[in-house]
Structure 1
């Protein structure tokens, strides 16, 4: 049993006798009577468990864990609880290093992660305690990466040397992932980056459609058939360069079926059909591959050996080839070749089929690959919406009226022919008026009496 003692100054303490028969006391200060009585009951329970050698109940253990350090230390001095372990102070630098070490990702993804980790380390400070990083700090970091113009290393693509909105969105997404790991590892209770708006990772300003004419000009300036294969496989088959070209072998080409078997290292971790896909070989690409096969060295297996070298710089050489073709290098050289291929395909084939050939979903295609074409806009201006009866009639009328000039060497039409031509023009124009009216319930035939 324990008792509650109050002295003349109103200071309270709990008195009890421990298992060794010694009288012990816990000073509570000027604690209200009810609170002191509640604390007394907890002391009695703790003392009883100590004497009996049994564990504390879940509810009592939870109460002990929630005690302030000063109160917990008083219970430690009278041997009612075990000393608390010193709290481990985790730092920002420790979190970033651990995240980088434990991440199981492709080398290219690890490189992209490092850019975000470096910006977090620079802004937050490696020695800063994780508990000191607040939601306000996270918002300040998001604003900083969007407005900072003092980049280190390669010049940024934007005119004012800021990160593009898509890059800011990507880095925000990675930062949220990093601090979610800290929560999962129980290093912090909540993530200060939760709720920070990332934005869209799509960047339409860097999209560029590489036309068939431009592709032909570039192929004509390639120094060898291996470079023609790089351009052809990327522009005509939509392969990722260099990752998918680097693993393409001659055994992956089914000449009879006109099919490429492509191994996608970027999406293989998704499982299922994401590791391998089949891509059709168009005639233009087939001609390039046949030439490459004829010139391939005896015993070679890779279609494009140059891409299998990890340290090769394809970008610089390709920019020179584009310039020699009389063109200006565009952003994202190889991805825009791939995107141009998909843009052409979706105009002729179902979107789900094209997405399967490209190795991603129709949603990803719409967000990051499909590009606007000017001729679509002009087609609507000239001919209206497809399926619009009035627009179709107007188009027919325009075509009928736009009769090509007669060849002076051919026999001139007779007056009867001119009259027939005028009649046909009038008839074509009247079709547009007829399309305004629908057929009634009686149909085209006149009503007849029932038999």
Structure 2
């Protein structure tokens, strides 16, 4: 356990913190600070020592405290290996929201251009709410929930007079939430933030069932009659009567069709 004592250091009255790290006694002069602030330092130091000795991660509050340290105290704790030296990734512009999201999206070479574009849409809403220069580690769970509510207020359709006819559907907002969780999880893995604030949000249903519409046989026949050629009639028939999705239809080959069984091998 750490302890605090009042003492003089080169003629200055202040508080000194003493504790053991790996069975070695350490002493840290805190100077003339309030007892309350000294107790805060003591609590975080104890958490850092416990993390080192138990080979675990310190709690999120202590990580935030340590990341904000500067000067002599930071240098001392780094020398004792209680905290890691600040790296470029933790001090550079990437720790602000806009540049981090740009870097993340550009680095997602494992997904299609269309998927990266969707991440770009989510980035636009995050920056629109918080600002590009907002520090990642200052976004709280409460901020994340407020962002979700703000999303639901964003216009999805505006009439010719500029009046909002419809705001963002819950399913669309849920997709943005899901992508935001993924991007902030990357920030956690990069140790830019201690925890993912977006985990506080429940994504909800990503399918907007209010837009579902049953196409009856009479309407289907009218659509078929209006199709410009047999290829379009086949596409519509596979969707309406076969229940195939667009990606399944475009992936079909003639070799997939089992003519004798009236089925396909691709399904």
State TM-score, norm by structure 1. 0.41
Corresponding residue number in structure 1 for 2:165: 160
- Tell me by how many angstroms 1:28 deviates: 8.3
- Tell me by how many angstroms 1:119 deviates: 0.9
* Shift in CA distance, 80/96, structure 1 to aligned 2, threshold 3 Å: closer
Alignment partners' CA distance in 2, 1:100 and 1:83: 27
Corresponding residue number in structure 1 for 2:202: 197
Please say if 1:95 is aligned against 2:100.
yes
Contact residue 157 and residue 165 of structure 2 kept, 8 A: no
* Shift in CA distance, 214/183, structure 1 to aligned 2, threshold 3 Å: same
Alignment partners' CA distance in 2, 1:105 and 1:37: 50
- Tell me by how many angstroms 1:236 deviates: 1.8
Superposed CA RMSD in Å reads 4.0
* Shift in CA distance, 119/207, structure 1 to aligned 2, threshold 3 Å: same
1:114 equivalent among 109, 113, 120: 120
Query: CA-to-partner distance for each residue in 1:277-323, whole Å, 9 max, x for gaps?
Result: 2xxxxxxxxxxxxxxxxxxxxxxxxxxxxxxxxxxxxxxxxxxxxxx
Query: CA-to-partner distance for each residue in 1:80-136, whole Å, 9 max, x for gaps?
Result: 889944652411123212332333334443343332122112222222221122223
Give the secondary-structure state (helix, strand or coil) at the position aligned to 2:165.
Answer: coil
Corresponding residue number in structure 2 for 1:347: none
Gaps of 5+ in 2: 1-5, 28-51
1:260 equivalent among 255, 260, 264: 264
* Shift in CA distance, 74/175, structure 1 to aligned 2, threshold 3 Å: closer
Alignment partners' CA distance in 1, 2:253 and 2:7: 89
Alignment partners' CA distance in 1, 2:76 and 2:245: 65
Alignment partners' CA distance in 1, 2:122 and 2:19: 54
Contact residue 12 and residue 31 of structure 1 kept, 8 A: no
- Tell me by how many angstroms 1:72 deviates: 3.2
1:229 equivalent among 229, 234, 246: 234
Q: Hey, which of these two has a bigger chunk of strand by percent?
A: 2
Corresponding residue number in structure 2 for 1:126: 132
Query: CA-to-partner distance for each residue in 1:250-291, whole Å, 9 max, x for gaps?
Result: 2221212222233xxxxxxxxxxxxxx2xxxxxxxxxxxxxx
Alignment partners' CA distance in 2, 1:150 and 1:222: 30
State TM-score, norm by structure 2. 0.66
Query: CA-to-partner distance for each residue in 1:160-213, whole Å, 9 max, x for gaps?
Result: 231112111221222122212211222210112221232222322111111122
Alignment partners' CA distance in 2, 1:186 and 1:99: 14
Report how many aligned residue pairs link the two structures: 220
Contact residue 28 and residue 36 of structure 1 kept, 8 A: no
Gaps of 5+ in 1: 1-8, 14-26, 44-57, 263-276, 278-451
Corresponding residue number in structure 2 for 1:247: 251
Alignment partners' CA distance in 2, 1:80 and 1:166: 50
* Shift in CA distance, 214/151, structure 1 to aligned 2, threshold 3 Å: closer
Alignment partners' CA distance in 1, 2:224 and 2:176: 36
- Tell me by how many angstroms 1:145 deviates: 0.9
Contact residue 253 and residue 261 of structure 1 kept, 8 A: yes
